[in-house]
Structure 1
Amino acid sequence: MLFCLFSVSAFAQSKKSKNYVFSYFKGDSKDGLHLAYSNDGYHWTALKNGQSFLKPEVAADKLMRDPCIIRGGDGYFHMVWTVSWNDRGIGYAKSKDLINWSAQQFIPVMGHEENARNTWAPEITYDAKSKIYMIYWASTIKGLYPQTQSEKENAYNHRIYYVTTRDFIRFSDTKLLYDPGFNVIDATIVKDGKFYFMFMKDETVEPVTKDLKIAVSKKLDGPYTPASKPLSNHQWVEGPTVLRQDGEWLVYFDKYREKKYGAIKSKDLRVWEDVSDKISLPSCIRHGSILEVTPQELERLKRE
């Protein structure tokens, strides 16, 4: 078993009401950033009557898919997103309150690689000890990894790449973060105790897998273990986002063929319970991320 070598900390939290925000997109994502809130992590209400908080302005396609927002060590909220189906960069902006945002930037994280076909679903993880942010995403580079190449689904064959930064002005060189031996997208990394847990989508099309898996590392930038077995019997799911509360792992995912969300939970990352019938979310919600905010921050969002 993959996780027999690792102990998962209790990470127990108070059962009192929390304040969570879910960032997401709708439709073709051209109307931008949407937010919902929850006090229990299961039932979500759209903020601003379902209207957009920020419209995309960068890249030729001007999309804002897969928005990932984290709270940084500098007190700002930092967001990255997918700007296009086939561009070689990502979008970035920051905010103090999730309402007023900085000028949007296009970061050409794969600009050096002329054979890169895309940069999908970027995410950020902050390492408080080193004060470094790691931005990571999925890209297909034409000609690489022929052993997992399929001509189906536009012949995409992704691996996970990353850069690091301290200030979102200067960035490290782009490096490979994870090659699990299969076509992989939608990685999201959560630290628990001394370990980093990477949740991802196995994008294998022949034979079809399309399920979620986990890998583990002692360092944010790896190396990560081989991927686990699928977390559930769900196929055709993507965009995992993870919430840790009351000693449990709650993993949301986009059931994109069914146009709705699902969720599973676990105490030990081995045994998973399907809790899809216990969640409620705004209609048309698509791949996003969850973060905790203060009561004051949430009240201001509610007034928008």
Structure 2
Amino acid sequence: MNCLSFRFGGKNHFLYAFLLWLSVSNLYGQKQVFLFSYFVDNGQDGLHFAYSRDGLKWEAIREKSFLTPTLGKDKLMRDPCIIQGPDGTFHMVFTTGWHDQIIGYASSKDLIHWSEQKDIPVMEHELTAKNSWAPEVFYNDQRKNFIIYWATTIPGRHSDVSDSENEKGLNHRIYAVTTKDFKTFTETKMFFNPQFSVIDATILKKDSWYYMFLKNENPKPAEKNIRVTKSKQAAGPYPTVVSAPITGNYWAEGPTAITIDDYVYVYFDKYRDHQYGAVRSKDMTSWEDISDKISFPKGIRHGSVFEVSEQVLKGLLGEQ
């Protein structure tokens, strides 16, 4: 009798059951897959995906976009941020244009078939607001709602920073709304107001802390690097005295973070070098630059990383 023999009531019953459980556990344990939502060029053709099984090698799923933008003055879909809610629905927010006071939203059950795109008028009440850039959405498990946050410049509203001709007077802070259903939203509130121009915030929960990665956008002297701050509350407040740069001697923006095995990986756009970079850490204090260990599709721009099931990936690949 071999080790997989099974007889109800026999002495091999429990051994078989254990081996069966172990094999199923191993099977599902091998199914983790990570997706990266991103845009190319200026975002005019819409939503793209890449996938990876190890967080290092990323492959584009197809050249054609999965969703074409319909909103805003410029009809763009930049900075697509996607998360999966508790009910399995995927929620995406995105930048609709360079000078819009809205952000875009759409939802999907499978990342292939999408709801009608709708605008969320997050800054229309601020008549002088110059933009609504790089929105992100995060599920707050403490309050059972979603936090949507983004960067906006309101002239004269915040402490001055040294400017440059290229910045065109932009001086960003992070604002936010919350929602439970993506139909009604709270009033727009200040979310993060440091003594520097800040864009591209993203939140990751690890253990009992909520870490917010962000870009110091100050131009003089040029910072253009990724920093981190943390809070016990997803909704903050987050200390405005942030870490030293966790990125290196290059300009970086658009961080997105995920936990893979023992590491937290933070991916970002080395936008002047036209390539992607990454750092990782086990203790959230010491960061290893692994930009030379990763590969991304050519032309990938700012997006978000998240985990999905094998079934979702197969659907995107057209294998179902």
* TM-score, normalised relative to structure 1: 0.92
1:178 aligns with 2:192: yes
Q: Is the 8 A contact 1:163 1:175 kept in 2?
A: yes
Superposed displacement of residue 155, structure 1: 1.1
Q: Is the 8 A contact 2:162 2:218 kept in 1?
A: no
Q: Which residue of 2 aligns with 1:201?
A: 215
Match of 1:246 among 246, 249, 261: 261
For residue 24 of structure 1, what is the amino acid of its counterpart?
Answer: Y
* TM-score, normalised relative to structure 2: 0.88
Q: Is the 8 A contact 1:73 1:128 kept in 2?
A: no
Aligned residues: CA RMSD: 1.4
Q: Which residue of 1 aligns with 2:291?
A: 276
Q: Distance in 2 between matches of 1:223 and 1:21?
A: 29
Superposed displacement of residue 60, structure 1: 1.7
- Using the aligned pairs only, state the percent identity: 51
Match of 1:233 among 228, 248, 255: 248
Task: List alignment gaps of at least 5 residues for structure 2.
Answer: 1-27
For residue 196 of structure 1, what is the amino acid of its counterpart?
Answer: Y
1:227-260 deviations in whole A, cap 9, x for unaligned?
1111132331100011211121111110001111
Superposed displacement of residue 74, structure 1: 2.5
Q: Is the 8 A contact 2:83 2:137 kept in 1?
A: yes
Superposed displacement of residue 151, structure 1: 4.5
Q: Which residue of 2 aligns with 1:124?
A: 137
- SS of aligned partner of 1:148: coil
- SS of aligned partner of 1:298: helix
Superposed displacement of residue 39, structure 1: 0.9
Match of 2:175 among 133, 154, 161: 161
1:41 aligns with 2:61: no
Map 1:204-215 onto structure 2 (within 5 A): 204-215=218-229
Q: Is the 8 A contact 1:15 1:246 kept in 2?
A: no
Q: Is the 8 A contact 1:72 1:78 kept in 2?
A: yes
Q: Distance in 1 between matches of 2:295 and 2:192?
A: 33
Q: Which residue of 2 aligns with 1:133?
A: 146
Q: Distance in 2 between matches of 1:103 and 1:185?
A: 28
Q: Is the 8 A contact 1:123 1:188 kept in 2?
A: yes
Q: Which residue of 1 aligns with 2:116?
A: 103
Q: Which residue of 2 aligns with 1:263?
A: 278
Superposed displacement of residue 223, structure 1: 1.0
Q: Which residue of 2 aligns with 1:301?
A: 316
Q: Distance in 2 between matches of 1:37 and 1:173?
A: 36
Q: Is the 8 A contact 2:31 2:310 kept in 1?
A: no
Q: Is the 8 A contact 2:39 2:78 kept in 1?
A: yes
Task: List alignment gaps of at least 5 residues for structure 1.
Answer: 1-13
Q: Which residue of 2 aligns with 1:62?
A: 75
Compare CA radii of gyration and give the structure with the larger one: 2
Q: Is the 8 A contact 1:17 1:40 kept in 2?
A: no
Q: Which residue of 1 aligns with 2:302?
A: 287
Superposed displacement of residue 274, structure 1: 1.1
